[in-house]
């Protein structure tokens, strides 16, 4: 029998969650699911027919937290003694290539094209500020925040980083760089000090990188594959996600899914959080609607076969009320005697942290953006902009504060005080629930809160996260909670819906079809601030939104 050489194409973005509607599935059909890659490598570690692994690294950057999840899976595969090889035309074509190179160091051997570079230049934490642009347009943002680290509001209120913003962003970049340096040092057999010196010398040519011990061989794709074939003999190539799918279709795996054995349900929450049904965002992205996620969690709680739930969260937050509604459903799953384990993706902050904090265990990657226990609120006043365009608005109102949220009028002093009081109330509720859910004192929570975003590693040190790891680790914990092994668990994605069920209108809020994502919905854009953020290419703003404007590159 011809052995299999597995391939990873890491030149394109990876899907965080499976598509929830036909359009999203069509748009994302060539993009593999992160979980499929990790699970495929797990299955391959014990498959004698799999001879090795080769990966094409580069192109579109993979998120740092996803890189760490893949690195763990690759290292576990390499521990079996099977060869692992990463190759790239260039790790940044005389440009940034730190994160792709960090991914490559999980492999035993690294090749780079002779004309390529190793752009191990470090990381930048960037933020976008639109205050001055808004002023030129005649738009006045009126926003307040709790507290100094809730920097999503700074996007609209400041022209550069505040001291608190710079401090928090600096620590995020430093934490991420510490993780990258440690990973590179371990993968390449170097000291951390040596890696730091090479970072300061980069970008390096291919030959310089080889001399420094950062790469093993210089060569082109055909030379990489020719060497592997000489080493392994006759092999057939197969992408990891295709291999995983084929394994899942094998009779013994198919029968195990049809059996009524103990099940662990996986509920995905990806995107910004809002009230109502989850919707498709843009080219394949999704949002988290409280109705949709609540229905999925209720279905898991009522399914007698389900022993535990893994909640995968990748969200910068959004609505406070929607986040609280989802947190309630998490607690109800636990009240039904089923543990809930949270696996955090690239970000699970502010509202994303709110929906995670009531779980039994929180697992995050070291680079996950989390915390951001704070709140912001306000509006953008567009009267001057409309006046310049010759557009006038007028009306009559009943009720002293009927105009409070109008984008055509500024807050009155009394309305501003009402906004400030409401922000205090939300912040107090958020911190109190963190303390209760995490078993921490209010004083301790306050020290970790004030809107500050933490890396997963720093969040664990402060009791906001329980363990560092990825989705597979969360599954292991869920299985251990209910006394079953990872291999015997029937892992299901919730909700289990066919195409017709996804398309039809639900009969009631208890109908499983209520857990389906809609193609469009009222959560798509929600007011003037949302329109402005969309225009400037920054995320939608909810009162529990974290500043994912920071880009580590």
pLDDT value of position 248: 79
- By CB atoms closer than 10 A (0-12, 13-18, 19+), residue 128 is middle
pLDDT value at residue 293 = 94
Do 191 and 79 contact (CB within 8 A), yes or no? no
Beta carbons within 8 Å of 285's beta carbon, 6+ residues apart? 270, 271
Which tokens is 409 given? 């009028």
- Pick the closest to residue 383 from 401, 359, 357, 409 (CA basis): 409
Same fold, 3-121+202-248 and 260-552: yes
Q: What is the pLDDT of residue 123?
A: 92
The H-or-E segment that residue 211 falls in is helix 206-211
The pLDDT assigned to 328 comes to 98
Cβ partners under 8 Å of residue 76, min gap 6: 41, 42, 45
pLDDT at 238: 96
| Integer Cα distance of 269 and 349 in angstroms | 12
**Residue-wise pLDDT tens for the chain (553 aa)?**
789 999 999 988 888 877 665 566 555 566 789 999 999 999 999 999 999 999 999 866 688 999 999 999 999 999 999 999 999 999 988 788 999 999 999 999 999 999 999 999 999 888 889 999 999 999 999 999 999 999 888 889 999 999 999 999 999 999 999 999 999 999 999 999 999 999 999 999 999 999 999 999 999 999 999 999 999 998 999 999 999 999 877 765 555 555 566 899 999 999 999 999 888 765 557 899 999 999 999 999 999 999 999 999 999 999 999 999 999 999 999 999 999 999 999 999 999 999 999 999 999 999 999 999 999 999 989 999 988 999 988 899 899 999 998 989 999 999 999 999 999 999 999 999 999 999 999 999 999 999 999 999 999 999 999 999 999 999 999 999 999 998 888 998 876 666 566 666 666 666 666 666 665 554 444 445 554 554 444 445 578 887 654 445 5
Domain borders along the chain are 3-121+202-248, 260-552
Q: What is the pLDDT of residue 515?
A: 60
Backbone angles phi, psi at 91, to 5 degrees: -95, 75
Looking at residue 545, its pLDDT comes to 80
CATH topology of domain 260-552: 2-enoyl-CoA Hydratase; Chain A, domain 1 (3.90.226)
Distance separating the N- and C-terminal Cα atoms of the chain: 44
CB 439 within 8 A of CB 462: no
Write down the residue that tokens 């608005």 correspond to.
393
Torsion of CA 316, 319, 320, 325, to 10 degrees: -100
Q: Coil, strand or helix: which one is 112?
A: strand
pLDDT at position 550, please? 46
Predicted local confidence at residue 537, as pLDDT: 41
CA 212 to chain centre: 34
The SS3 call for residue 165 is: helix
Give the rounded distance of the alpha carbon of 146 from its chain centre: 24
Look up the pTM and report it: 0.90
Q: What is the CATH number of domain 3-121+202-248?
A: 3.90.226.10
| Strand 84-88 versus strand 109-112 pairing type | parallel
> Which tokens go with 137?
């347009």
């Amino acid at each position: 029998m011809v052995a299999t050489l597995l391939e990873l194409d890491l030149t394109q973005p990876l899907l965080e969650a499976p598509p929830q509607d036909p359009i999203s599935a069509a748009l994302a059909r060539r993009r593999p699911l992160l979980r499929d890659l990790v699970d495929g490598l797990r299955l391959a570690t014990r498959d004698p027919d799999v001879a090795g692994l080769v990966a094409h690294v580069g192109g579109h950057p993979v998120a740092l937290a996803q890189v760490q999840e893949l690195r763990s899976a690759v290292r576990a595969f390499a521990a079996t003694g099977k060869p692992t090889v990463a190759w790239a035309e260039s790790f940044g074509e005389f440009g940034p290539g730190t994160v792709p190179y960090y991914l490559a160091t999980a492999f035993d051997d690294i090749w780079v094209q002779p004309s390529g570079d190793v752009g191990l230049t470090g990381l930048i934490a960037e933020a976008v500020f639109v205050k001055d642009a808004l002023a030129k347009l005649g738009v006045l943002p009126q926003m307040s925040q709790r507290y100094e680290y809730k920097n999503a509001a700074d996007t609209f209120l400041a022209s550069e980083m505040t001291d608190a913003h710079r401090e928090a962003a600096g620590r995020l970049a430093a934490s991420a760089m510490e993780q990258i340096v440690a990973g590179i040092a371990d993968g390449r057999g170097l000291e951390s000090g040596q890696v730091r010196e090479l970072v300061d010398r980069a970008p390096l040519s291919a030959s310089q990188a080889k001399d420094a011990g950062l790469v093993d061989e210089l060569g082109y794709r055909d030379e990489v594959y020719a060497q592997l074939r000489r080493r392994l003999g006759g092999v057939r190539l197969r992408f990891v996600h295709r291999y995983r799918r084929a394994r899942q279709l094998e009779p013994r795996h198919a029968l195990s899914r049809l059996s009524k054995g103990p099940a662990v349900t996986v509920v995905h929450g990806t995107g910004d959080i809002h009230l109502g049904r989850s919707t498709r965002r843009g080219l394949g992205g999704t949002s988290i609607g409280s109705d949709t996620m609540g229905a999925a969690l209720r279905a898991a709680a009522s399914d007698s076969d389900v022993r535990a739930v893994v909640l995968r969260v990748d969200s910068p937050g959004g609505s406070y009320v929607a986040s609280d509604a989802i947190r309630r459903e998490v607690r109800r799953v636990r009240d039904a005697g089923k543990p809930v384990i949270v696996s955090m993706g690239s970000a699970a902050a502010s509202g994303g942290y709110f929906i995670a904090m009531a779980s039994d265990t929180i697992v995050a990657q070291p680079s996950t953006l989390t915390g951001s226990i704070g709140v912001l609120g306000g509006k953008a006043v567009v009267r001057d902009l409309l006046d310049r365009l010759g557009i006038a608005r007028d009306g009559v109102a009943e009720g002293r504060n009927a105009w409070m949220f109008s984008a055509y009028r500024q807050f009155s002093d009394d309305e501003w005080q009402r906004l400030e009081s409401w922000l205090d109330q939300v912040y107090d509720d958020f911190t109190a629930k963190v303390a209760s859910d995490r078993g921490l004192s209010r004083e301790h929570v306050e020290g970790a809160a004030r809107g500050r975003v933490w890396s997963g590693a720093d969040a664990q040190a402060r009791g906001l996260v329980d363990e560092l790891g990825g989705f597979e680790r969360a599954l292991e914990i869920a299985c251990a909670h209910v006394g079953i092994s990872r291999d015997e668990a029937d892992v299901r994605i919730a909700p289990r819906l066919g195409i017709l069920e996804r398309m039809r209108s639900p009969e009631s809020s208890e109908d499983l079809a209520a857990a389906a994502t809609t193609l469009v919905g009222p959560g798509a854009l929600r007011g003037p601030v949302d329109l402005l953020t969309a225009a400037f290419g920054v995320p939608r703003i909810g009162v529990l939104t974290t500043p994912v404007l920071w880009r580590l590159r």
